[in-house]
Chain A
């Protein structure tokens, strides 16, 4: 059993009190590097808004952080284990399991790492978001990036930043409550290929709690097809909070994130192609490790609501 290091969410791990740059980690605004071909546009005085070239706006980020802080500290009471395994600098691809009808795990992981390590995390999400009015725009302003291999490469390799992906994709959040914590197929291993090409490690994160924050009780495929959305479920939240509030309100499950040992790939970066078998093996191995870790965390969990 790995050593557990429960932490208060406000405490920065591994930072002694006298750390000279400790203050910078608590800075309210994470200085966000603008995109690669951007930077040059920084001195542009014709600009009227603070939207950078990825579509991210620091003003919207601040609002999102304020809302995120409440959920992070009070609602889900997020705890991290082995946060020190996330690299302090250089690119890394964070990979986690995905759950909840409207998955709250992505913003919580992003908020936690931004808050405690002072590093921005780019959440890569399905391009489907872009087709939804309002939601797509807010998501982009809050730091979301469409999950395209080129975008991931730019973030990981050229900018040396952290990117967060959920290889299960949409299959994760749309699973029924009875299948909770059972990982779906990890796509076609595209995330491994991206990490190999960018020459960065994959850091798996096992996340506990999101499944119970908005569990799916019933799915209505006919309505999905009609509205052209991936899934439109009836959740436990609808029963608890009513049909309107229940669509957006989460149950206060206890969140626990455990960072696994980073996986380094011993391959030459920047290749056009990598052996398919190698990619699939690596993806499957990461999936297995995450699954085992999840089962272990579940066996240690005493209460869904209190951890």
Chain B
């Protein structure tokens, strides 16, 4: 069955990468990406629409394109990347609008994939060594980011309850590392520093960025249904992360950690959002048995993901960013996608065939 997919956050790291991965799947007839900025990833056939998270536009897009799958990759999981208010707007209001559009009467949506984070479990001394998908948090969330993600998940759960005919995949990812991803931990490691809270050396988990994309791709393809933890195998102490990435261990005071680290953060010598500080104190483990029972196999272990990141940053130190940066030009992209002058390769034409005449003639696909 041909699939029609709507993707959020096409301009973000995950949106772009996932779109690129999904483009390869001939089963997918139409791929539409939303974003507030232009895409940063060179894409073959993904349509781009510049839109914010307002509800009216979303429901019009869903109705007009008759998408059957929504992939929501645009959840912010790094509180240092934007202000608290913007974060709430993007995560909570954006998801609420998206789900409202998906659940509107007569909606064609049958599958929703949400990329959430293991941050919803928090990081507290009372935690179990492993969180299963249905283990509750030990303490109510206090950090703004964790609160917003918890709220997002409650909307997703409500949506799943109200729309039993829609398969809802909620994926909770552990900390991601990889050659390209930019996270507080990767920024610290790139500076050659791993912040640690003096006297604490908890166990943490990582998942490789390519594994993240493969999980999202698999979730779309196989219509996974339910909540899944996603993390590479194994857990490793923070000190070991530092030694794999050959970073200097920067001990921070166990009391007044934030206040004392504030000057370093202000001077951009260190990244220490609240959620990272909690993680460096108590660590976190999530049990991925449920995902692995579906037959998914990770390519990288937790330590492997750190290793891969370390290798890439060693290369970068010598060569710099080797790839030329891509700039999205709307006219050029429209030309390549829709102009009859462009000769499309046989298989691409075959894959795109049903929608091709309709798109070029401007009438909605039947």
Q: A residues within 8 Å of B by Cβ?
A: 35, 37-38, 40-41, 44, 46-49, 51, 53-55, 127-128, 130-137, 145-146, 148-151, 154
Contact = CB atoms under 8 A, between A and B. Distances in A.
B39 to A, nearest CB: 33
B356 interface: no
A117 B346 CA distance: 70
Interface stretch (B140-148, B185-193, B234-242, B357-365): B234-242
Across the A-B interface, the 5 shortest Cβ-Cβ residue pairs: A133-B199, A41-B234, A46-B303, A150-B128, A46-B307
A137 B302 CA distance: 20
A48 B201 contact: no
A37 to B, nearest CB: 5
A266 B244 CA distance: 50
B240 A49 contact: yes
B254 A53 contact: no
A134 B199 contact: yes
A289 B14 CA distance: 60
B126 A127 contact: yes
A47 B303 contact: yes
15 contacts: A37-B233, A41-B302, A44-B303, A46-B306, A48-B243, A51-B237, A53-B234, A53-B235, A55-B202, A130-B282, A137-B201, A146-B129, A149-B128, A150-B129, A151-B128
A217 to B, nearest CB: 29
B167 interface: no
Nearest to A47: B303
A127 B125 contact: yes
Interface string B194-208: 000111111100000
Nearest to B307: A46
B200 A133 contact: yes
B303 A133 contact: no
Interface residues of B, number: 36
Interface in B313-357: none
B203 A51 contact: yes
Contacts of B122: none
Interface of B: 125-130, 132, 135, 197-203, 233-237, 239-240, 243-244, 254, 282, 285, 287-289, 301-304, 306-307
B216 to A, nearest CB: 22
Contacts of A134: 199
B323 to A, nearest CB: 25
Contacts of A54: 129
Contact of A137 (B126, B129, B199, B301): B199
A37 B199 contact: no
A133 B200 CA distance: 6
A38 B234 contact: yes
A47 B302 CA distance: 9
Contacts of A132: 199
B240 A51 contact: yes
A154 B125 contact: no
B130 A154 contact: yes
Contacts of B197: 133
Given A49-B243, A53-B129, A154-B129, 20 more contacts: A37-B233, A41-B303, A44-B303, A47-B236, A48-B303, A51-B203, A51-B240, A127-B125, A127-B126, A130-B125, A130-B282, A131-B125, A133-B197, A133-B200, A133-B254, A137-B200, A146-B128, A148-B128, A149-B128, A150-B132
B21 to A, nearest CB: 24
B236 A51 contact: yes
B236 A151 contact: no
A51 B243 CA distance: 14
A148 B236 CA distance: 20
Nearest to A134: B199
A47 B234 contact: yes
B243 A146 contact: no
Contact of B288 (A37, A146, A148, A150): A37
Given A46-B304, A48-B244, A133-B197, A53 B203 contact: yes
A55 B244 contact: no
Contacts of A133: 197-200, 254
